């Protein structure tokens, strides 16, 4: 089944779960990537570091709560790719349209996570086993960053 709402979406970032955020960030800096931001999302029990890579980003995610979703993920599956994220114009409208098409959602509405982003997730069954994140950029923070490229 074709999903035209995502057919026009842009790749936004890949999320990678890591056990030691400082060590992983040092590895990515050694590869030549520039660290853009380091931030915590207490509601999700994570701390993350964002790197620019081409037209998108790499987001390193480390649990701050071993009982949170990312802490449980790391304990069960170990470090590695967690999700692929796609930029959409309106996360809530995209979720509603996908739900109308029978796509299994994790979130029914978007939520703010920093950077001027609102995000929501689709169940891994909707993405051939890969957790899919939808990202709506609601503020121009990306465009104001010196390494942002359109």
Predicted confidence band of residue 140 (pLDDT cuts 50, 70, 90): low
What would the mean pLDDT of 118-124 be, rounded to a whole number?
A: 95
This prediction has a pTM of 0.85
Nearest-CA neighbor of 34 among 58, 63, 10?
Answer: 58
CA dihedral 42, 137, 85, 92 (to 10 degrees): 90
Q: Are strands 80-87 and 117-122 parallel, antiparallel or unpaired?
A: unpaired
Tokens representing 102? 């029978």
| Sheet hosting strand 35-41, strand order edge to edge | 35-41, 46-53, 56-63, 10-17, 80-87, 131-137, 117-122, 111-114
pLDDT for res 147: 36
CATH of domain 4-144: 3.10.180.10
Distance CA 82, CA 137 (A): 21
Kindly report, residue by residue over 27-38, the tens digit of the pLDDT.
Answer: 999 999 999 999
Predicted confidence band of residue 148 (pLDDT cuts 50, 70, 90): very low
What would the mean pLDDT of 9-19 be, rounded to a whole number?
A: 95
Kindly report, residue by residue over 74-116, the tens digit of the pLDDT.
Answer: 999 999 999 999 999 999 999 999 999 999 999 999 998 877 8
Query: Could you tell me which residue, 120 or 114, shows the higher pLDDT?
Result: 120
Tokens representing 98? 């996908």
Distance CA 10, CA 55 (A): 9
What would the mean pLDDT of 119-138 be, rounded to a whole number?
A: 94
Q: How many residues does the chain have?
A: 150
The domain limits of the chain are: 4-144
């Amino acid at each position: 089944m074709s999903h035209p709402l995502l057919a026009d979406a842009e790749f936004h970032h890949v999320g990678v779960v890591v056990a030691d955020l400082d060590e992983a960030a040092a590895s990515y800096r050694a590869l030549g990537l520039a660290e853009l931001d380091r931030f915590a999302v207490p509601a999700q029990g994570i701390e993350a570091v964002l790197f620019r890579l081409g037209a998108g980003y790499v987001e390193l995610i480390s649990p701050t709560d071993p009982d949170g979703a990312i802490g449980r993920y790391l304990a069960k599956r170990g470090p590695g790719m967690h999700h692929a994220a796609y930029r959409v114009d309106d996360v809530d409208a995209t979720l509603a349209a996908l739900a109308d098409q029978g796509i299994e959602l994790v979130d029914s509405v978007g939520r703010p996570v920093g950077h001027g982003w609102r995000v929501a997730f689709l169940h891994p069954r909707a993405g051939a086993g890969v957790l899919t994140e939808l990202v709506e950029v609601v503020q121009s923070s990306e465009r104001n960053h010196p390494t942002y490229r359109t």
